[in-house]
Amino acid sequence: MLFNSTEFLRFFALFCAGYYLARRNVRLRNVLIIVGSYVFYSSWDYRFTGLLLFTSVLDFLLALGIDKSSTSAGRRTLLSTSIVLNVGVLVVFKYFNFFQDSLANLLDALGFHAHLSDFDWQVVLPVGISFYTFQSMGYVIDIYRRKIPACRAFLEYQAFVSFFPQLVAGPIERAGHMLPQFHRVLPIRVEQVESGVWLIIIGLFKKIALADNFAPLVALVYDHSIPSAATVFLGTVAFAAQIYCDFSGYSDIARGLAKLLGFELMLNFNLPYTATSMRDFWNRWHISLSHWLRDYLYIPLGGSRRGEARCYLNLAVTMLICGLWHGASLTFVLWGLWHGLGLIINRWYIRHTDWLPRLPRWFAWSVTMLFVLYGWMLFRASSLDSILVFNRALADFSLPNWLWPFVRNLVVLIIPLVLIELKQRRADDPSAPVVLARWPRAALQAALLLTVIVFWEAEPPPFIYFQF
Amino acid sequence: MKHDAEISFRELLRLILPTLVCMVAALAFLKIAHAAYILPLPSPALFPDNEVLFHQSRASRTRDPASIILLGDSTCLMGVDARDLSSQLPGQPHVRSLALVVWLDLRVYAEVLSDFARANPGQVQTVVLLVCPTKLAGAPTGSGLWNQIHHSTRPGEIEQPGTLQSLLGLQLLRENVFSHLLETPLETKNVAFLGFSSQLETYQTQHYGSMIEQGTFFVPVHGRTNQWRLTPDFAAETRDFRSKMPAGCKLFIGLTPSPKSSSTPFDRANRDEVLRQWNQWMHADGLLTNLPPVLPDLYFSASAHLNELGQKKYTQCVARALAAALQDAPAKEPAQREAVLSP
């Protein structure tokens, strides 16, 4: 059940009707959220609702155990159990196929290829597993660190883990931010509805009108054409725009839906393509993941506290995990390491070049964007061989037949995105158009909605991040 | 907890109504603009699948110096390059491909030809009709979409009922406005070569109505073999086609080739026999029996469509066959040549 499907619109309308009746009774409201979320989740594959339940029950009980445990050894054991089980679930469902294929290739190379088909099991990836596992694991770590008290109401915890607006593609919420919202009655204020409606419209616009129209341009370069420097560059620009519109569009819709229910989700994207350094980029792109990795991985590894070399190693390891989080593929590993390298260079530059003049802003932005774009090429390529082909193509300056129509489409689609982003940047507020006067805002919302309906598909393409 | 800060129904309406009013106003404006012919016509490049039909529909009503017309299904459209054929024929006569698709019947082919002859009176001297063997065996045909394209009062507009967009009248926004802003990427094998439907239009214009399909044919494991069969149902449309031929035109008919992997030992004999049977209804001036019935698989992009290499090869074959046929066929009376038969 995708946010951009008629099925979801029907589901949400029905859910809202029940929710508005039940919203003043916390227990009833939470039950409704859980039931709605499980219905939502089971629309992909009902079998995986058991996994969602398993993760939430496990972490709920382990967190209670940690909270009650009086010894640090006991607390550490329970935390380790949670981490091992959560990571274990991720490894089994997300990386099993990768490990199996790698083992098969290795055995094949060693001459043991006769019986490989006997072990050819393909594990289906449950949608959203990386998101809710990280969210649940973050809660247990917070309890261990005594940052928040353990939640004693299972319904509240279950509603927090399974909350459908952010269940399958984030933002990866923090328990300290979300659990209190499940603990009390939430008034649905006019500003929230106003902002929620805007976020849903802009999110749908980004996904349906922009991302889904960037998609064939990207496919043209990455799946069909003979690559050259021009096509790789343009195709990667198109992919950068596609993945941003797709994922930030999803996050906007998620935040908007939550607002209509009275909840507040964290900001997940903050104009990432205006970043002037890699560090700046990661403070703006997929904020909930980058902050999760910072708080639960980079800092525990030592962060920048154990010397310069260790800091660089920590950055590389963190970004390697970030790459692997996206999927079991060497292309994601390379993408993660590439960003790790970017962060290392960024840090080195800040620490060692005080004597150099500050880079002009436009230059810093250009360098950052080129670095990010090369990263997207690694991310989008289907294999290491493709990466090699695309790299070689960077020395080929031939132009395809379809260069100008491609550029025209790219420009036509990028203009509205840039206008929206500029408005938000000037207002320094990611929900900027809400501050417009009533009728100009209504006209803008109407134009966006009509465009959304024009491009609405009976069988909508899924969000890119659902596969992670 | 106080609940008086919650949104009231009145506030909700105040929030939603202005947007709805703007939407209704925009939809009304679209309808009025359409009715008043203010909106631009849909871009011909909107629907890649229909683009070929739009092009041929326009070409059939346009002044053009062609004296040789290629007619047929998509195997003719992709198989023969009209521009190359023109340069390879003795005297380099102008050639125009008005070939369509297999699911349109021969009456539609005849209509295109009649329209062309009407737009260019007394000019057409030779018609070459090339179809795939499947068409003779009774491939299902229809003309609904063609009628919409060719006989629409607003060229380029095709009704697509049943969608939310058409219900709200929003297809006008997509077809008449957005189609001029956004190119439509192709979804066929041509995507890597041509990229967008507008390039397809450009290609077809540059190649006098012919098209191309890139790619290589992969032979299926259990490949089918050629079926040489003429269905009796084909008689009526064949006779109708013949009756609508412009007077004075020489008509040559032939069958397009199949991949070698689906060939049988008796392909040439079977092909010639089917052609002869067909000609009992068609009464053509010549049968192009010296065209190859099969070609190597590497010349094909699909089981019936030739690729760039195949098109080049087959165009040479057609040029040779047609040159020979034109030499052999008796010349028609000039008076006959001038006349144009209307339906």
Whether the CB-CB separation of A123 and A92 falls below 8 Å is answered with yes
CB contact under 8 A, B191 and A189: no
Residue B13 forms contact with A (CB below 8 Å):
no
The pLDDT of A143-165, averaged and rounded, is: 93
How far does the CA of residue B52 sit from the closest CA of chain A (Å)?
A: 18
Show the CA angle centred on residue A98, arms to residues A92 and A104, nearest 5°. Answer: 115
pLDDT grade, residue B166 (50/70/90)? confident
Q: Among A194-208, A325-339, B156-170, B176-190, whose mean pLDDT is lowest? A: B156-170
CB contact under 8 A, B15 and A193: yes
Q: Which of B164, B183, B213, B214 is best to mutate for the A interface (most A CBs within 10 A)?
A: B183
By Cβ distance, the residue of B163, B165, B196 closest to A402 is B196
- Predicted confidence at residue B221, as pLDDT, reads 52
- Predicted confidence at residue A423, as pLDDT, reads 80
Scan for tokens 């979300």, then name that residue: A178
For B242, residues 6+ apart whose C-beta sits below 8 A from its C-beta are: B251, B281, B282, B283
Give the torsion sign (CA, A98, A102, A103, A105). Answer: positive
Whether the CB-CB separation of A287 and A171 falls below 8 Å is answered with yes
Give the torsion sign (CA, A82, A86, A91, A93). Answer: positive
Q: Is the pLDDT of residue B338 over 60?
A: no
Q: Which of B10, B13, B19 is best to mutate for the A interface (most A CBs within 10 A)?
A: B19
- Predicted confidence at residue B89, as pLDDT, reads 92
Q: Is the pLDDT of residue B31 over 90?
A: no
pLDDT tens for each residue of B57-100: 889 999 999 999 999 998 999 999 999 999 999 989 999 999 99
The pLDDT of A198-217, averaged and rounded, is: 93
- Predicted confidence at residue B299, as pLDDT, reads 92
- Grouping H, G, I as helix, E, B as strand and the rest as coil, residue A6 is helix
The pLDDT of A305-309, averaged and rounded, is: 88
Q: Is the pLDDT of residue A434 over 70?
A: no
Using CA coordinates, name the residue in chain A closest to B166: A454
pLDDT grade, residue B333 (50/70/90)? very low
pLDDT tens for each residue of B232-250: 888 888 999 999 888 888 9
Beta bridge partners of B131: B255
How far does the CA of residue A427 sit from the closest CA of chain B (Å)?
A: 22
Within 192-221 of B, beta carbons closer than 8 Å to A belong to 192-196, 198-199
Q: How far apart are CA B103 and CA A51, in angstroms?
A: 51
Q: Is the pLDDT of residue A153 over 90?
A: yes
The residue that leads in pLDDT, A368 or B246, is A368
CA distances, A121 to each of A115, A117, B22 (Å): 13, 9, 55
Phi, psi of B130 (to 5 degrees): -125, 125
The residue that leads in pLDDT, A249 or B214, is A249
* Pairing outcome for strands B95-97 and B126-131: unpaired
How far does the CA of residue A28 sit from the closest CA of chain B (Å)?
A: 16
The first and second tokens of residue A33, run together, are 């959220």
Please report, rounded to a whole number, the percentage of residues in chain B having pLDDT higher than 90: 35
- Predicted confidence at residue A305, as pLDDT, reads 87
pLDDT grade, residue B148 (50/70/90)? confident
For the stretch B189-210, what's the b/e string if a residue is b when 16 or more beta carbons lie within 10 angstroms of its beta carbon? bbbbbbbbbbbbbebbeebbbb
- Predicted confidence at residue B179, as pLDDT, reads 80
Q: How far apart are CA A229 and CA A221, in angstroms?
A: 11
User: Model pTM?
Assistant: 0.83
The first and second tokens of residue B164, run together, are 């939310």
Q: Is the pLDDT of residue A425 over 90?
A: no
CB contact under 8 A, B183 and A409: yes
Select, from the ranges A252-261, B236-245, B265-274, the one with the highest average predicted confidence (pLDDT): A252-261
Active site residue A177: no
- Predicted confidence at residue B153, as pLDDT, reads 60
Using CA coordinates, name the residue in chain B closest to A438: B18
pLDDT tens for each residue of A447-468: 999 999 988 887 888 888 776 7
Q: Is the pLDDT of residue A256 over 50?
A: yes
pLDDT grade, residue A429 (50/70/90)? low
- Predicted confidence at residue A84, as pLDDT, reads 94
pLDDT tens for each residue of B33-62: 888 888 887 776 556 667 788 889 889 999
CA distances, A213 to each of A219, A243, A462 (Å): 11, 12, 13
Cα B151 from chain centre: 15
By Cβ distance, the residue of B5, B12, B26 closest to A450 is B26
Q: Which of B89, B243, B88, B117 is nearest to B98 (CA)?
A: B117
Beta bridge partners of B259: B295
- Predicted confidence at residue A208, as pLDDT, reads 94
Please report, rounded to a whole number, the percentage of residues in chain A having pLDDT higher than 90: 60
The first and second tokens of residue B297, run together, are 């698989």
Cα B284 from chain centre: 23
A 10 A CB-CB count for B122 gives 15
How far does the CA of residue A442 sit from the closest CA of chain B (Å)?
A: 4
pLDDT grade, residue B4 (50/70/90)? very low
Q: Among A128-132, B195-199, B222-226, whose mean pLDDT is lowest? A: B222-226
Q: Is the pLDDT of residue B332 over 70?
A: no
DSSP B110-132: HHHHHHHHHHSTTT--EEEEEE-
B259 sits in which H/E element:
strand B258-259
CB contact under 8 A, B173 and A450: yes
How far does the CA of residue B29 sit from the closest CA of chain A (Å)?
A: 13
Question: Which amino acid would we find at residue A320?
Answer: L
- Predicted confidence at residue B194, as pLDDT, reads 77
Using CA coordinates, name the residue in chain B closest to A25: B1
pLDDT grade, residue A66 (50/70/90)? very high
The residue that leads in pLDDT, B118 or B4, is B118
Q: Is the pLDDT of residue B334 over 50?
A: no
Helix residue spans in A122-174 (DSSP H): 129-144, 154-162
pLDDT tens for each residue of A387-398: 999 999 999 888
Asked if the peptide bond before residue A171 counts as cis, ω within 30 degrees of 0, the response is yes
Q: What Rg do the C-alpha atoms of chain A give, in angstroms?
A: 23
- Predicted confidence at residue A138, as pLDDT, reads 95
Q: Is the pLDDT of residue A156 over 70?
A: yes
- Predicted confidence at residue B260, as pLDDT, reads 85
Q: How far apart are CA A351 and CA A363, in angstroms?
A: 19
Q: Is the pLDDT of residue B330 over 60?
A: no
Q: How far apart are CA B288 and CA B256, in angstroms?
A: 10
pLDDT, chain A, mean = 89
The pLDDT of A170-179, averaged and rounded, is: 92
For B67, residues 6+ apart whose C-beta sits below 8 A from its C-beta are: B93, B94, B123, B124, B125, B126
Whether the CB-CB separation of B283 and B275 falls below 8 Å is answered with no
The pLDDT of B104-114, averaged and rounded, is: 91
Kindly name the residue from A115, A326, A339, A352 that is annotated as catalytic.
A326
ipTM over 0.85: no
By Cβ distance, the residue of A194, A402, A438 closest to B194 is A402
Whether the CB-CB separation of B260 and B302 falls below 8 Å is answered with no
Number of A–B residue contacts, CB under 8 Å: 104
The residue that leads in pLDDT, A108 or A367, is A367
CB contact under 8 A, B23 and A224: no
Q: Is the pLDDT of residue B337 over 50?
A: no
Q: Is the pLDDT of residue A155 over 70?
A: yes
Within 5-24 of A, beta carbons closer than 8 Å to B belong to 24
The pLDDT of A410-422, averaged and rounded, is: 89
Residue B27 forms contact with A (CB below 8 Å):
yes
